[in-house]
Amino acid sequence: MDAFVFYISGVLSVVAAALVVTRKNPVHGTIYLVLFFLLVSLDYLILRAPFLAIIQVLVYAGAILVLFLFVIMLLNLSEEELRESTSTTRKGFAGILSAGLFGLLSWGILRSPTVRNMGDLAAPVTSPTLAKAGETEAIGQALFTTHALAFEFSSILILVAILGAIYLTKKRKQTSSAPSQTSLTGLESQEEAGQKHAPADGARLEKRLA
């Protein structure tokens, strides 16, 4: 049964991932990404990690990607902007790099003795600790004992992220000595920078060298 579910979800997730990168419309791409994350959560269930499966659905498919969808919809891209395509050389370069990464990872996984001697995943688990390892209780134990520092420190990570987001987007009152501090949203400035800022010497030379 496990193998059956795995193969179905595996094939579907590869299809979904391919659709994410090939769709022109970013909204469609994101929806396929949601599908992909849901299918991956099935894999966690097969590996008896129910906590991770739930987190995958709640956090990734639920929260993060819905946020993605909102942002894309708020951007409200026009037809022309959607039709813009990247150059074929760039696509080829990205393709070669991804193929290289894929080759490296599949070499490692196919040669790995651990993976070869894995045995039947569907066999019932005998050890009681192993059977509980993926459950919320075991993860909670590890988080609050062995990984207490990492757990606490992640609050600093979130604090820094919030601080940065607020600082970069907040409107500031105009002060006398400061120049016009118009609040640029990151995306406007990115577009303007791309159009008006001429590539500097180094970038040009790099292109020539490449």
Quote the least distance from Cβ 209 to other proteins, whole Å: 8
Structure tokens at 175: 């002060």
Nearer to other proteins, 74 or 200 (CB): 200
Contact, 33 vs 56, CB < 8 A?
no
Among 81, 94, 96, 108, binds other proteins (CB under 8 A): 108
Q: How many residues bind other proteins (CB under 8 A)?
A: 66
Distance CA 207, CA 196 (A): 19
Nearer to other proteins, 79 or 120 (CB): 120
d(CA 30, CA 33): 5
Does 102 sit near other proteins (CB under 8 A)? no
Q: What is the rounded radius of gyration, in angstroms, for the C-alpha atoms of the chain? A: 23
Distances (CA, A) of 39 to 15, 33, 68, 141, 182: 11, 10, 19, 28, 44
**Minimum CB–partner distance for residue 31 and other proteins (Å):** 22
Q: What are phi and psi of 197, to 5 degrees?
A: -75, 110
Rounded Cα gap, residues 32 and 80, in angstroms? 23
- Footprint (CB under 8 A) of other proteins, residues 5-44: none
Closest approach of other proteins to the CB of residue 61, in Å: 19
- 146 binds other proteins, rule: CB under 8 A: yes
Binding site for other proteins (CB under 8 A): 48, 104-105, 107-109, 111-114, 118-119, 121, 123, 125, 129-130, 133-134, 138-139, 141-142, 144-150, 153-154, 156-157, 159-161, 163-164, 167-168, 175-184, 186, 189-190, 192-194, 196-197, 200-203, 205-206, 209
